[in-house]
Structure 1
């Protein structure tokens, strides 16, 4: 049941679901439930798409033996969310900081947060693909 086809379908479902859910929650996908208070930018859509794609790729590569990388994936997802989310619409951030502080300090560094998120996810997927190839090479030598 955990064959490549099942894993690929799960990864596509995770990517699509993450894109839709995060897009609606942040107001990047227009909806009647949420109104975004800061303008949408191309970078917002780029980081939304990359975060959703990376979550799907991570899901595809994830195996029970590689479960120890979940903290890095979570950090990448949170930084991605902060990169494309509306800084003044986040209730948790507003409870911790004022809206003027968020617009003064968080809003200008959102592209940097998105870049860090992409680097974290890309590095994680690169390291995981190297581990997977090493594992596959070891398995082939035993079978051959």
Structure 2
């Protein structure tokens, strides 16, 4: 069990340590799923036709971190399907946001190369912000539905 003091709260929450492992694992998987095919994480498997833009690195790190945080939070009862859909949908949106604008076959098919660079590329940062906003909402909702039973976490008041 590990204690975490949240800066905006006066409570210390004890979360089962296996949840932190689950969160780190989910963050690593998320980073790989979004970063490798978009070639933000450079590998020999994919080739990017445009250079990685500066904002794509923080977008990838924040996407992975928020996804991991969502999975680390223990929730009551059965799995939250709507929350999982939000997380998976925003990860897909993040992949579209950080991906090479002319490497996306759907965008090229709909807009052509000049449209991909002239229309799609300028809206990709907004897609990244939207994706991160949806992930933040999912994490906040997951936190509100967290499990706080005596056998899984304890809240100690720091106002004593």
Structure 2-normalised TM-score? 0.73
Deviations 1:13-58 (A, max 9, x none): 1211222342221111222222211121220101111111122112
Give the one of 53, 57, 67 matched to 2:81. Answer: 67
Sort the Cα spacing of 1:55 and 1:43 in 2 relative to 1 into closer, same or farther, 3 A. Answer: same
| Structure 2, unpaired ranges of 5+ | 1-14, 151-160
Q: Tell me what 2:11 maps to.
A: none
Larger RCO (CA within 8 A; separation ≥ 6): 2
Q: Tell me what 2:53 maps to.
A: 41
| Count of aligned residue pairs for this structure pair | 134
| Structure 1, unpaired ranges of 5+ | none
Which of the two has greater strand per residue? 2
Give, in angstroms, the shift of residue 11 of structure 1. 1.4
Structure 1-normalised TM-score? 0.80
Q: Distance in 2 between matches of 1:88 and 1:11?
A: 33
Give, in angstroms, the shift of residue 85 of structure 1. 0.9
Give the one of 88, 91, 103 matched to 2:105. Answer: 91
Q: Distance in 1 between matches of 2:139 and 2:101?
A: 28
Matches within 5 A, 1:1-144: 4-61=16-73, 63=75, 64-132=78-146, 136=148, 139=149
SS at match of 2:36: helix
Q: Distance in 1 between matches of 2:50 and 2:141?
A: 36
Which of the two has greater helix per residue? 1
